Amino acid sequence: MRPQFFSWPFEYQHVCARRSAPIRLLSVGKPAIYYCDVHALDLPAGHRFPSGKYQLTRERLAADGFSLQLAPLASIDLIKLIHTCGYVDSFLSGTLSPAAVRRIGFPWSEGLVRRTLGSLGGTLAAAEDALRCGLGANLAGGTHHAFADSGSGYCVFNDLAVAIQWLRRDGRIRRAAILDLDVHQGDGTAHIFSGDHDVLTVSVHCRSNFPLRKQESHIDVELPDRTRDDEYLAALDFVLPQVLAFGPDIILYQSGVDALESDCLGHLALTHRGLAERDRRVMHAARSHDIPFVITLGGGYSRPLELTAEAHANVYRTAAEVFQ
């Protein structure tokens, strides 16, 4: 018997539109942004995950006039392109081991299942938008700590990996780059695509931060604690030409804002201005080379929550400027 969340009316149904011509960016104006925070995470009181940041960010963007759309729920078949059937089925049915649930960091609930499928579905829909008009944006996702057979660090399924595998399966892209600028290493992503020469994984992160046991991305830049704007942007200028030289058919951007000085988990010392410049350089690189670009949200743990919401909102504001 199919649980209710499988028959959600917004379940993602993609249309396979094979590209026949080189992608050219169109004038997209302010991008539609997919959200999924209406599916409650059902966290216990005192849980340290800042679940309120999603709504706060969405409200800021709505006030700015952005078009916001409820994310479709990802289909289970697509998730299994990357994740093992055992892991997927156990998560969906609430039968993961207590240790596996603890590693994810969220208590299991039907709300978590819906939220997870919406987060992933938002990235798939954004990838579709990116191939169609140059830019796609999800107000969730960037769940880079998820491995093929397990979740970790508030990440259940790896939306970045699933999106790429889906597009490759359907012959819509050949090469993809994941540019992960969250302050934590994209260890799950790195592990999934290790040895895959058609997917470039790039992670710029804080050396001393979670996860303690790092994986090997194709390009890792490990920054010391208290790194400030100038040093950070210099590191970015080092990796961006390598991303472009790889010749990706699409770039998936993990735009975590936990490198902010005010972040409780980050250890770095970037300003809002530095983060905005980071985003501008990344997006300008993609835009100027006509590479379809997908924004995923990633981490952000500043207190008060408004600092994180403002930083996340700035990512989409910058995109609206660069891709106008």
Interacting residues with Zn ion (CB under 5 A): 182, 184, 256, 258, 299
Nearest distance in Å: CB 2, Zn ion: 34
Nearest distance in Å: CB 256, Zn ion: 5
| 145 given a catalytic annotation | yes
Q: Which amino acid type is present at position 75?
A: S
- Write down how long the chain is: 324
Q: How far apart are CA 186 and CA 201, in angstroms?
A: 8
The residue of the chain with the least Cβ separation from Zn ion equals 299
Nearest distance in Å: CB 86, Zn ion: 27
Does the N-terminal peptide bond of residue 72 adopt cis geometry, omega within 30 degrees of 0? no
Q: How far apart are CA 56 and CA 41, in angstroms?
A: 15
Query: Residue 248 or 299: which CB sits closer to Zn ion?
Result: 299
Nearest distance in Å: CB 168, Zn ion: 26
The residues pairing with 179 across neighbouring beta strands, listed in sequence order, are 202, 253
Q: Which amino acid type is present at position 259?
A: A
Query: Residue 25 or 311: which CB sits closer to Zn ion?
Result: 311
C-beta neighbour count of 136 within 10 angstroms = 30
Task: Return the DSSP state at 266.
Answer: -
Query: In this structure, are strands 293-296 and 135-138 parallel, antiparallel, or unpaired?
Result: parallel
Q: 39, 83, 144, 145: which is the annotated catalytic residue? A: 145
Q: How far apart are CA 37 and CA 178, in angstroms?
A: 24
Catalytic residues: 145
